[in-house]
Amino acid sequence: MSSNRSRLRIVEAVLALTVLIVAVMTVKLVPGIDTLEAILQVLPGSNALGSGTVFVFPTLLAIVTLVGAVLDWPSIASVVVTALAVITLVMVALSVDTLVFGEGGGVFFGHLFVGLGAIPLAALVLVRPLVERLLPADRPNLLNRFGS
């Protein structure tokens, strides 16, 4: 694996962990999460993104995993990652569209759908290196084809 590819995998893993943390903080699944939220609110600039963090990190994760999937294209894992990333991006786009162009009224659950919908993508990104170690495959990919 090239150093650029390993850097991309590290960025994917960090974003996946961030998505999981934001999802847990959004749904408050863990006891004591209010204490963590209180600590994060005290930090300077913690409200810079506001509630948009629910949309920012899943979007970044989906984009980065799409780039990685394109580089590994002819594999089953890349097809599954691409499908989950596209679903995540569509959910983000629909939620942001509802927030920006919505007629108003009702309760908005888009942030929950995006946060919970990005969990399978984040889980797959975190589990994929383990699966690749257990089932190594010498398969061609775009990096090998172009000699990088």
Q: Which of 7, 27, 88, 104 is nearest to 55 (CA)?
A: 88
User: Any idea where the domains of the chain sit in the sequence?
Assistant: 3-34+49-145
| Residue 64 CB neighbours (<10 A) | 19
Rounded (10°) CA dihedral 130, 133, 135, 137? 130
d(CA 89, CA 6) in angstroms, rounded, equals 24
- Dihedral sign for Cα 78, 79, 80, 85, please: positive
pLDDT in tens for each of the 148 residues of the chain? 567 788 888 999 999 998 888 777 766 666 665 665 565 554 444 444 455 667 888 999 999 999 988 887 777 778 888 999 999 999 999 888 887 787 877 777 787 788 788 999 999 999 988 877 776 665 555 555 555 5
pLDDT of residue 43: 43
pLDDT of residue 74: 73
Rounded (10°) CA dihedral 110, 111, 114, 117? -100
pLDDT of residue 86: 94
Angle at 52 between CA 43 and CA 117, to 5 degrees: 115
Place of tokens 């590819």: 5
pLDDT of residue 60: 93
pLDDT of residue 48: 40
| Contact assessment for residue 141 and residue 69, using Cβ atoms and an 8 Å cutoff | no
pLDDT of residue 122: 94
